[in-house]
A and B are shown apart, each in its own frame.
Chain A
Amino acid sequence: MEFAELIKTPRVDGVVLHRPFMPTVEGTLCLTGHHLILSSRQDNTEELWLLHANIDSIEKRFVGSLGTIIVKCKDLRVIQLDIPGMEECLNIASSIEALSTLDSVSLMYPFFYRPLFEVIEDGWQLFVPEEAFKDLESMTDEWRLSEVNKDFSVCPSYPSLLTVPKDIDDESLCKAASFRHGGRFPVLSYYHKKNGMVMMRAAQPLTGTNGRRCKEDEKLINATLCAGKRGYIIDTRTIAVAQQAKARGGGFEQEANYAQWRRIHKAIERSNVLQEGLIKLVEACNDQSHSMDRWLSKLEASNWQSNVKEILTTACLAAQCIDREGASVLVHGTEGTDSTLQVTSLAQIILDPACRTIRGFEALIEREWLQAGHPFQQRCAQSAYSNGKPRSEAPVFLLFLDCVWQILRQFPCSFQFNENFLIMLFEHAYASQFGTFLGNSVAERLKLLLSQKTVSLWSWVNRPQELERFLNPLYEPNNLVIWPSVAPQSLLLWEGVFLRWNRSTKCLDEAYQEMVHIIEYNKELQNKVNSLRRQLAQLETEDGPLQTP
């Protein structure tokens, strides 16, 4: 298909662009296959380049022959375009609608994007399971890398290589897979070096109403326990929801069959409810009404902050079991691709200082989200402004980032990256020139030949020029476990994302710059003092007698 067919009017002159807290710009609007561009033609400073994929929905309005298109983006920005001429306006609107809702993945921009920078370090090769396993091998020999899923037939949403207990053979894995939702049998998520405890993740067991059991599944997870030790199963669903799942063939681990495990139920919302929460929250944030009660009740009704609290609480629980109780943990919800991953990845941020570095965090996202089969393509197809009925959309990843931000806010010196890094990941998960977040699983990504045909986000981010923006000037490596507070008073609305376009950031940017200044000035000062000390020492050794009293 040619994009040209979808573009009814490729350019319109005299279009006025309105953006919050920015001066209006008049210029020429151009539509290309992947971008909406507005150029003022005045030294090109006031240009808008918007990916069609970033457009969540549009609205049209007419006053006489002047048309207005409100463009609502997945990054929550809202812009307004005044377009002279009714026909032009209608054409532009329908073109944008068509171009922003292309179904075929291979028509997405990452397949057309050619980087203007030289790829020095290919992000596609950065985080391969073999490397992660090498690290694990240096700490323990209890685990092996299994190729049972090499053609993705055992579990389509898992990667081809999986870390499993050494004593469990592939045949048992297959049997365990048939007992778990979507074939997601328990695999290693995290090894806690300090005490050798582990965190595993899986999907719900398919016990059904008649209490099916699977010896191999039991053997598999028991193999991770030390003799005489008990482990914890954290089911991210309430007991009621888990019970209901039985009727649909799902269920939870029966005490009788998993005697060495204690099961704890938590109440993380299912992903389909989350999308509605996001829509409500963003609607509340855009409400210009001056009623405080209305704002607070809308904030409450969105349940967003409740979700943040519940996810963080569960992650803390998992981390506590591992670090404080010295027990191994298995985490699952229903499918094991959403709340499960939120919990396992956040627990690692709490426990493992490596995850708080930029590379470590990227590796975490690769491991626990991309390779673990979080369906990014489905979940991020639409954002807060979608009009249509949600299909599989859900801000699962955004909630995870929000939780990371909460921890970052409470431990502002323990992360190598800053808030901008998290916001950047949010943007790219929803619309990007890079192929990293395309597809729903490793299998899909292989099929799409993403590593050959698109550029990895990491190839770009890790360039020193880009990285600079994302470095936290306050960072001081901290090897401790960091326990965040989950009291409601401690959890704030993530303004960096939700109020990003509703406030002027001038003062906050100034404050940030000032902070950077202070820190850098101090470093330079210390360097200077040290170099003076050296000079003095040198002088003293040269003509020592001078200083004798």
Chain B
Amino acid sequence: MEHIITPKVEYVKLLNKYAEKKSALGTLYLTATHLIYVEQTNNARTETWVLHHHIVSVEKLPLTASGCPLLIRCKTFQLLHLLFQRERDCQDVYQSLLRLSQPVKEEELYAFLYNPHQNEEDRRQGWEFISVANDFSRMGLSNDYWEISHLNKNYEICSTYPSILGVPKNASVAVVTGSAKFRSRGRLPVLSYYHKDTKAAICRCSQPLSGLTSRCVEDEQMLQAISQANPNCPFIYVVDTRPKLNAMANRAAGKGYENEDNYSNIRFQFQGIENIHIMRNSLQKLLEVCSVKSPSMSDYLTGLENSGWLRHIKSVMDAGVFLAKAVCEERASVLVHCSDGWDRTAQVCSLACILLDPYYRTIKGLMVLIEKEWISFGHKFSHRCGHLDTDPKEVSPVFTQFLECVWQLSEQFPCVFEFNEHYLIEIHNQVYACQYGNFIGNCQKERLDMRLHEKTFSLWPHLLKNQHLYRNPLYRRSLESTVLRPSTLPLHFKFWCGMYNHYDRGMHPKQSVLDQLLSLTQKQEEGERTMTELQRQLAVADGVLPDPSGPINTPTEQDSPSEKTPTAPFVQSNGSCLPLVNGDAEEAGPGAEKCIDKEGAEPGATEHDLTSSEDKPVSVETEHSKEEVQESS
């Protein structure tokens, strides 16, 4: 709080980008964590909350006749244009925000203050909710070819890697440690994803310290071991995601890329994804295009082209597609690296995982993927997101690009993702918000040292709690094409207005199909509940069921249906909508039959035109919907 010079300023204008006249006067508040702008017009009160951590820059613009303007840019791509009446206020707010938006120490981050009213047990469970180890078992590890290694449990082999690593079974300790020494920052080749069907693996590492001539037997043996771990293909791809020129330049510094002559049975490939600095500048240019006031179509398209942003997105996607194809079509294992193996490598490996495995396209699966490929493998979130006031050259939208690639995929495949666009945007906002501890620090070891699990909370349970907001109503679990094969022709890449112009509501469709469908699915759940209740009431009125409100009713009878298997088609309709027909229970599985026996209802006893089959599943449905609630809570 000591950084807040003026906690409240009145008569501040929030300028509207499109209609300057419309801007009303409001009050600006500064709290320890947020900037809050409150506008009171007639009976409507609108509040704009901006987290200090989301502020990327504060700029005082030249004085105008109408006041002192302050331009606030956010990492969420929100732009606030404030107009103060008094220079003094503007200066105070400016100085306060400069300090508040750039915390110096980790402890100043919001996550260390934030408590979502959870007890220690909830906190612990929250942190354990997503587990990389579980994902290894989901992939079928350990098996004949791969094992989980604890060699890095003290982060001694590689300080930026996770404590558990997937390595080929036939790679000895000497090979593992030897190979680590030959890789930049000790980031040795380890398993990222194992594809059960083809037995091909995606492995990741950093660049080799090959320089112009150096070689390392252990590293060569490591690649050999990876190759041998896949009985279906005699070679492995080694993919250097960098442009060839960059990789060659690194050789002069004693780093570089694999010499095909030294490694047996590798196929070497460059991918041409640019480095973090080029990406940072590209985003900068893109955001300039986004913030232009009423640009012409030509300005916009030229700006979009000149920013290079979509070109870079395409390069990441191309590399991801290359990996996925190698794994599923050629059944070949792939080893991926860039320079340090924590930016481009993370992008490409995680994208390939999404293309290959439907699990990662679910709400929980994406959490696992981010936890695995990004958080635990040491993507430097603190540096890349600029959480603290550190080197601005370390900041880069690498993770944003990954999220965008997922969005681009969801545009081509609208039914294969369990989540919608809001989910990706929420994750993006949370990465920068530092409200939860997940994205603080640069690697697992740092997080452990910071004792984040004791001092902060995990984001994932929070997202799961709100998952109804993030669901894709069009999601079809049953979709057979498990491997996605997107087209990467340039014309299939679109500008992501929902992200980069998120706060320009005027640009978005005025009616949203997604919101419409989400509210329909909500209505559907209510409708199903109402129907169940009505059917029950009908049965009661009819004398088929005892009246629960009446005195004759015994509680045991009410509880009895709880053992029944819930199989009525209604409830499954959340996933796939079966058409409703009269007498739905006829389509129900064997469980429904079982319940007829238990229920003992006499179908013939009903006089009104409800078919008997409608009566039977009543209790089943009630029970099932209870279960549903439990599952989702």
Residues of A bordering B, CB below 8 Å:
284-285, 288-297, 299-300, 303, 305-306, 308-309, 409-414, 474, 482-485, 487-493, 499, 502-504, 507-508, 510-511, 514-515, 517-522, 524-526, 528-529, 532-533, 535-536, 538-540, 543, 546-547, 549
Contact = CB atoms under 8 A, between A and B. Distances in A.
A525 B490 contact: no
A474 B516 contact: yes
Nearest to B414: A511
B491 interface: yes
Contacts of A529: 527, 530-531, 534
A520 B491 contact: no
Contact of B297 (A288, A414, A488): A488
For the complex of A and B, the 7 pairs showing the least CB-CB separation, nearest first, are: A488-B300, A295-B490, A511-B414, A296-B305, A300-B301, A292-B311, A306-B297
A547 B541 contact: yes
Contact of B473 (A507, A508, A518, A543): A518
23 contacts: A290-B488, A292-B308, A293-B305, A299-B301, A306-B296, A412-B511, A412-B513, A412-B516, A414-B511, A484-B510, A488-B300, A488-B301, A490-B497, A490-B507, A502-B491, A510-B479, A518-B524, A522-B520, A524-B580, A529-B527, A532-B534, A532-B538, A539-B541
B412 interface: yes
B256 to A, nearest CB: 27
B511 A305 contact: no
A212 to B, nearest CB: 35
A394 B610 CA distance: 61
B45 interface: no
A493 B520 contact: no
Interface of B: 290, 294-302, 304-305, 308, 310-311, 314, 318, 412-416, 473-474, 476, 479, 487-495, 497, 501, 504, 506-513, 516-517, 520-521, 523-524, 527-528, 530-531, 534-535, 537-538, 541-542, 549, 573, 577-580, 608-610
B489 A519 contact: no
Given A511-B414, A525-B528, A525-B580, A492 B305 contact: no
A533 B531 CA distance: 9
A511 B302 CA distance: 32
B296 A503 contact: no
Contacts of A289: 490
A489 B511 contact: no
Contacts of A487: 294, 504, 506-507
Contacts of A547: 541
A536 B511 contact: no
A490 B545 CA distance: 57
A178 B495 CA distance: 50
Contact of A292 (B295, B302, B490, B580): B490
Contacts of B512: 412
Contacts of A284: 491
A502 B416 CA distance: 21
In this complex, the member of B299, B490, B610 whose beta carbon has the largest number of chain A beta carbons within 10 angstroms is: B490
B527 A525 contact: yes
A246 to B, nearest CB: 27
Contact of A507 (B415, B506, B531): B415
A39 B531 CA distance: 52
Contacts of B542: 539
A454 B530 CA distance: 54
B415 A514 contact: yes
Nearest to B534: A532
In this complex, the member of A285, A293, A532 whose beta carbon has the largest number of chain B beta carbons within 10 angstroms is: A532
A517 B415 contact: no
Contacts, number: 183
A508 B487 CA distance: 14
Contacts of B530: 529
**A interface: dominant SS:** helix
A529 B527 CA distance: 7
Contact of B493 (A292, A504, A535): A292
A524 B570 CA distance: 12
A128 to B, nearest CB: 34
Given A285-B491, A503-B492, A528 B531 contact: yes
A419 to B, nearest CB: 12
A522 B521 CA distance: 8
A47 B527 CA distance: 45
Nearest to B506: A485
Contacts of A533: 534
A80 B476 CA distance: 35
Contacts of B524: 518, 521-522, 525
Contacts of B527: 522, 525-526, 529
A306 B298 contact: yes
Given A490-B497, A521-B577, A293 B311 contact: yes
Given A290-B488, A529-B530, A491 B513 contact: no
A409 B509 contact: yes
Contacts of A549: 549
Contact of B608 (A492, A503, A525, A539): A539
Given A290-B490, A294-B490, A296-B310, A413 B511 contact: yes
B516 A413 contact: yes
Contact of B296 (A296, A299, A410, A488): A488
Given A493-B491, A525-B531, 10 more contacts: A290-B314, A292-B310, A295-B490, A305-B301, A488-B299, A489-B495, A490-B497, A502-B491, A529-B527, A547-B541
A474 to B, nearest CB: 6
A499 B491 contact: yes
A411 B509 CA distance: 6
A529 B525 CA distance: 12
Contacts of A492: 494
A295 B304 CA distance: 11
Contact of B314 (A292, A297, A411, A484): A292
Nearest to B538: A536
A474 B512 CA distance: 10
B541 A517 contact: no
B517 A507 contact: no
A406 B99 CA distance: 44
A507 B516 contact: no
Contacts of A295: 489-491
Contacts of B295: 488
B541 A309 contact: no
In this complex, the member of A294, A411, A485, A524 whose beta carbon has the largest number of chain B beta carbons within 10 angstroms is: A485
Contacts of A510: 414-415, 476, 479
B535 A532 contact: yes
B520 A519 contact: yes
A482 B414 CA distance: 27
A77 to B, nearest CB: 17
A520 B310 contact: no
Nearest to B501: A489
B235 to A, nearest CB: 25
A509 B301 CA distance: 29
B412 A507 contact: yes
B525 to A, nearest CB: 10
Contacts of A288: 489
A257 B321 CA distance: 66
Contacts of B491: 284-285, 295, 299, 493, 499, 502
Contacts of A484: 510
A154 B297 CA distance: 41
A475 to B, nearest CB: 11
Given A300-B305, A489-B507, A515 B549 contact: no
Given A515-B474, A526-B527, A474 B513 contact: yes
A538 B608 CA distance: 10
B302 A300 contact: yes
Nearest to A284: B491
A349 to B, nearest CB: 14
A535 B538 CA distance: 8
A517 B521 CA distance: 11
A479 B523 CA distance: 24
A524 B415 CA distance: 23
A466 to B, nearest CB: 23
